[in-house]
Amino acid sequence: MKSSDKPTESIVLGGGCFWCLEAAYQLVNGVTAVTSGYAGGHWPDPTYERVSTGTTGHAEVVKVEFDPGIITLEQIMDVFWTIHDPTSLNRQGADVGTQYRSIILYEPEQRERVEASLKAAQKLVDAPIVTELKPLDHFYVAEADQQNYFKNNPDAAYCQVVINPKLKKLREHHRQQLKENA
């Protein structure tokens, strides 16, 4: 697809540890920025330490900014459904707690498309999708050491055992949507 004159669009997604989603979306063609952060809770100015207690109501999320002239919201959502288990309540693998829940925080004009994406994804899995859908209230940027974690620590055990299998799945199912050499 060719780039458009439209401004970038963004959506906030949570599906386990934000390092996983960040690493995956950084490979997707048309994605212009991915920022790890926190959203969906009630605690003002959350920190990694505080969110990890599971008491803030926030989830670890990523803000995915993309060029809609290159990739659509629907394609962004297709990647989301592929790279995590939306049928697992408050966990992804060994990451357990409400901070790891599957959640989509959307802008008002995205609601119908997000709901349609969830309905389409539900037809592809046997178990009920438990992904929480809600309007984005506020996105808090995570600390600097939480940004670009996979890029900065590719040999870390978590990256090898948890993130790399998700990236492999991404490459298998969305090869046509990835940046060159991804």
Active-site residue, from 17, 27, 136, 162: 17
Q: Is 17 a catalytic residue?
A: yes
Rounded to whole angstroms, the Cα distance separating 35 from 73 reads: 17
The two most distant CA atoms of the chain are separated, in Å, by 44
DSSP characters over 13-78: EEES-HHHHHHHHTTBTTEEEEEEEEESSS-SS--HHHHTTT-S--EEEEEEEE-TTTS-HHHHHH
* 83: nearest Cα among 152, 34, 155, 143: 34
* 121: nearest Cα among 6, 23, 2, 13: 13
Residues annotated as part of the active site = 17
